[in-house]
Amino acid sequence: MGLPPYLRIASELRARIASGELRAGQRVPSTRGITEEWGVALATATKALAVLRQEGLVRAVPGVGTVVGGATVVPGPPRRGRRRETRELSRELVVRTAIALADAGGSGALSMRAVAAELGVSTVVLYRHVSAKEELVALVVDAVFGEVRLPVCGPDGRRARLEASARAQWALYRRHPWLAKSVSTMRLSSSPNAMRLLEWTVAPAVECGLGTAVTLAAFVRGIAVDLEDPVDERLGLGPDALLEFGLARLLDGLAPRTPERRPPGEGRR
Amino acid sequence: MGLPPYLRIASELRARIASGELRAGQRVPSTRGITEEWGVALATATKALAVLRQEGLVRAVPGVGTVVGGATVVPGPPRRGRRRETRELSRELVVRTAIALADAGGSGALSMRAVAAELGVSTVVLYRHVSAKEELVALVVDAVFGEVRLPVCGPDGRRARLEASARAQWALYRRHPWLAKSVSTMRLSSSPNAMRLLEWTVAPAVECGLGTAVTLAAFVRGIAVDLEDPVDERLGLGPDALLEFGLARLLDGLAPRTPERRPPGEGRR
DNA sequence: ACCTGAACACCGTTCAAGT
DNA sequence: ACCTGAACACCGTTCAAGT
């Protein structure tokens, strides 16, 4: 039949829902899953899911994925006081919805129009909460970096702390494969939560400057941009193996196991 | 006046051309220059130049920038044989034009429609030479990596060779500030010229595996993504200082000055 | 057979008309 | 005063109508 692939996939999924094979609350295939099952590009998978979302058949749930069921209330913060029952649009809800869409559909799914549609409001309404998409992306990145839980008395050895920081960042990029691309379009230093992480990385006991933390962060992000697309194995190394190999070597340079050199004075900020 | 900023800038530049302040062949301000002179975003600068290009007042010249003068023949390869005089559209010319546009207007200026407009053909024509934008970007990246001139008998010391490779890559990213973002949307391993560079990096004499070259490349690219936007100095370090600091530490790890450890067997491909 | 204008399905952002 | 449909200026890609 002559349907474009994304419509064909959408109607196959629609049939699965209609037949009861996929029930309300159950997850439909993720974009990644769709690219594998149908052998199509990420953009096609994203569009297929967007069709079903538009129809109200499925919705994006933060931290879960795309599930069957009409767009209802995105789980919000615990209600306090006697506010009226209807969900109130807030900057936080906009940001949370954007994250849910990106988690479900990749970086291509993070658009002003898609966020508005998911919330059931017209696009212009978003501009009451953010000045432009650029600001939304910055808020989204900051919110995601806010997920990182840093131990208050973390490891004090330099190498251990740098490694802990790098692994925390890597875990974040793994959890949100679209994140590295979004980070690449903004200044990480404009995110308070990212700065908090960088400063934790080079806490006083570690005795090195912010440049060390930024170098580490650039390396981790440099590998993480490959997380969104399916790996090709031509290099014989997937992103995880690359991270392990490169991180070990970088730590050797930044924090030799036998401490003999201290990173040059870069100004402790 | 109520004109949007990009039209205001376009008409100011138009006036400079009309008055003779900017003459045929001379360079008009680059997008970077416009962002600084008028205090606007990169996208605005790009749009302003696009207006003038559409009008045929200026054109993008590979390796030079945007210059005054109607869209005529982009300098092509030396003509051989007795082909007719009219410029013939080829995949190579499409790629060269795309590079010129990106050099002149940043990564945002690399669009199918803009390339077609610059060549004076309709957009569909491009699809006779590339299958999709994705392929065009891959070709553009490969062509740019082809600019790197590698010494046939390069440095044989491991550290010296790794450093030479990293600096060659950095120079490329500096020359094409949009490159890192384009590379981030594709697999570097799909570019023959990039693979050539990676293999040169870990030539037999250097005694390490491709993983070393890929680690180095990920680090350099991770810092290079910040090259397109104007720096903020909140971290106290610009990309150049970051590269110097991080590269030195990474080399310490990958190729210690007193060679005592050899990178683990990663398979020499 | 070849070529391309117009369309389709998007995008971010703004304006003007409506309540 | 507030809200939003429709518009504007894009984007990548495809189709169908024209020569």
List bases in chain D with any atom under 7 Å of a protein Cβ: 3-6, 9-15
Question: What percent of chain A has a predicted confidence (pLDDT) above 70?
Answer: 76
pLDDT at A66: 75
- Strand D–CB B7 distance below 7 A: no
What's the whole-number average pLDDT of chain B?
A: 80
Give domain status of residue B233, yes or no. Answer: yes
How far apart (Å, rounded) are the C-alpha atoms in residues A189 and A204?
A: 20
pLDDT at A159: 93
Is residue B136 helix, strand or coil? helix
How far apart (Å, rounded) are the C-alpha atoms in residues B91 and B89?
A: 7
Q: Give the CATH number of the domain where residue A211 resides.
A: 1.10.357.10
Task: Kindly indicate the confidence band of residue A240, based on its pLDDT and cuts at 50, 70 and 90.
Answer: very high
- Range of weakest confidence among A80-94, A249-263, B9-23, B212-226: A80-94
Other CB atoms within 10 Å distance of the CB of residue B234: 13
Nearest to A249 among B235, B253, B267 (CB): B253
Q: How far is CA A15 from CA A5, A11, A56, A57, in A?
A: 15, 6, 15, 11
List bases in chain C with any atom under 7 Å of a protein Cβ: 3-7, 9-15
Q: Which residues from the 97-136 window of protein chain A have CB within 7 angstroms of nucleic acid chain D? A: 121-125, 128
pLDDT at A52 over 90: no
pLDDT at A10: 78
Q: Do A222 and B226 touch (CB under 8 A)?
A: no
Asked if A10 and A57 sit in the same domain, the reply is yes
Final residue before a domain boundary, out of A99, A127, A144: A144
Task: Please write down the long-range contacts of A130-136, taking CB distance under 8 Å and 24 or more positions apart.
Answer: A130/A91, A130/A94, A134/A185, A134/A186, A136/A94, A136/A95, A136/A98, A136/A112
Give domain status of residue B27, yes or no. Answer: yes
The CA distance from A128 to the nearest CA of chain B, in Å, is 21
Q: Give the CATH number of the domain where residue B55 resides.
A: 1.10.10.10
Final residue before a domain boundary, out of A111, A144, A177: A144
Asked if B47 and B64 sit in the same domain, the reply is yes
pLDDT at B22: 75
Nearest to A211 among B218, B221, B242 (CB): B242
- CA dihedral (B128, B130, B131, B135) in degrees, to 10, reads 180
pLDDT at A15 over 70: yes
Check if the beta carbon of residue B211 is closer than 8 Å to that of residue A237: yes
The CA distance from B236 to the nearest CA of chain A, in Å, is 7
Among B163, B237, B249, most A C-beta atoms within 10 A, so best to mutate, is B249
Asked if A155 and A110 sit in the same domain, the reply is no
- Strand D–CB B32 distance below 7 A: no
Q: Do B229 and A254 touch (CB under 8 A)?
A: no
Give domain status of residue B259, yes or no. Answer: no
Q: Do A242 and B214 touch (CB under 8 A)?
A: yes
Q: Do B266 and A237 touch (CB under 8 A)?
A: yes
Q: Specify the higher pLDDT residue, A55 or A84.
A: A55
Average pLDDT score over residue span B23-31:
72
pLDDT at A116: 92
Asked if A123 and A162 sit in the same domain, the reply is no
B227-259 residue pLDDT tens: 988 666 666 678 999 999 999 999 998 888 764
Q: Do A219 and B219 touch (CB under 8 A)?
A: yes
pLDDT at B245: 92
pLDDT at A235: 65
Task: Kindly indicate the confidence band of residue B97, based on its pLDDT and cuts at 50, 70 and 90.
Answer: very high
**Residue of B254, B201, B216, A256 lying closest to B263 (CA atoms):** B254
Asked if B154 and B231 sit in the same domain, the reply is yes
SS3 content of chain A, % helix, strand, coil (to 5): 55, 5, 40
Nearest chain A residue (CA) to B256: A253
Q: Give the CATH number of the domain where residue B121 resides.
A: 1.10.10.60
Count of helix runs (H) and strand runs (E) in chain B: 12, 2
Give domain status of residue B263, yes or no. Answer: no
pLDDT at B87 over 70: no
Q: Please state the domain count of chain A.
A: 3
Cα end-to-end span (Å), chain A: 63
Other CB atoms within 10 Å distance of the CB of residue B136: 22
The CA distance from A168 to the nearest CA of chain B, in Å, is 17
Tokens 């697309």, located at residue: A229
Nearest chain A residue (CA) to B221: A222
Asked if A35 and A100 sit in the same domain, the reply is no
Q: Which amino acid is at A228?
A: E
pLDDT at A65: 64
Name the range with the highest mean pLDDT among B56-60, B70-74, B87-91, B214-218: B214-218
Q: Do A211 and B241 touch (CB under 8 A)?
A: yes
Q: Which amino acid is at A110?
A: L
Task: Kindly indicate the confidence band of residue A107, based on its pLDDT and cuts at 50, 70 and 90.
Answer: very high
Structure tokens at B162: 């790794």
B130/C8 CA-to-C1' distance in Å: 21
Asked if A46 and A108 sit in the same domain, the reply is no
pLDDT at A161: 95
Structure tokens at B68: 């005054």
**Residue of B195, B61, B87 lying closest to B138 (CA atoms):** B195
Q: Which residues from the 70-109 window of protein chain B have CB within 7 angstroms of nucleic acid chain D? A: none
Q: Do B263 and A250 touch (CB under 8 A)?
A: no
Question: What percent of chain A has a predicted confidence (pLDDT) above 90?
Answer: 44
Q: Specify the higher pLDDT residue, B41 or A212.
A: A212
A223/C19 CA-to-C1' distance in Å: 53
Asked if A120 and A150 sit in the same domain, the reply is no
Structure tokens at B134: 């994705």
Q: Specify the higher pLDDT residue, A37 or A195.
A: A195
Asked if B162 and B198 sit in the same domain, the reply is yes
Task: Kindly indicate the confidence band of residue A147, based on its pLDDT and cuts at 50, 70 and 90.
Answer: very high
pLDDT at A18: 76
Asked if A196 and A241 sit in the same domain, the reply is yes
A20-33 residue pLDDT tens: 677 776 677 777 67
Give domain status of residue A266, yes or no. Answer: no
B160/D11 CA-to-C1' distance in Å: 45
Give domain status of residue A74, yes or no. Answer: no
Q: Which amino acid is at B51?
A: V
The CA distance from A231 to the nearest CA of chain B, in Å, is 9
A70/C11 CA-to-C1' distance in Å: 25
pLDDT at B82: 26
A112/C18 CA-to-C1' distance in Å: 24
Give domain status of residue A54, yes or no. Answer: yes
Strand pairing partners for A59?
A67
Task: Please give the model's pTM, rounded to 2 decimal places.
Answer: 0.73
Containing structural domain, residue B118: 91-144
Strand pairing partners for A70?
none
Asked if A53 and A138 sit in the same domain, the reply is no
How far apart (Å, rounded) are the C-alpha atoms in residues A49 and A105?
A: 8
Q: Which amino acid is at A259?
A: P
pLDDT at B81 over 50: no
User: Residue B6: CA atoms inside 13 Å, Cβ hemisphere, count?
Assistant: 13
Other CB atoms within 10 Å distance of the CB of residue B229: 16
pLDDT at A54: 65
The CA distance from B194 to the nearest CA of chain A, in Å, is 12
- Range of weakest confidence among A140-149, A260-269, B46-55: A260-269
Average pLDDT score over residue span A68-96:
55
Check if the beta carbon of residue B216 is closer than 8 Å to that of residue B251: no
Q: In what helix (H) or strand (E) does residue A102 lie, and over which residues does it extend?
A: helix A91-105
Is residue A224 helix, strand or coil? helix
Give domain status of residue B31, yes or no. Answer: yes
Asked if A168 and A213 sit in the same domain, the reply is yes
Task: Kindly indicate the confidence band of residue A36, based on its pLDDT and cuts at 50, 70 and 90.
Answer: low
Q: Specify the higher pLDDT residue, A256 or B145.
A: B145
How far apart (Å, rounded) are the C-alpha atoms in residues B158 and B202?
A: 8
pLDDT at A80: 29
Check if the beta carbon of residue A207 is closer than 8 Å to that of residue A262: yes
Average pLDDT score over residue span B78-106:
72
- Range of weakest confidence among A82-86, A181-185, B70-74, B105-109: A82-86
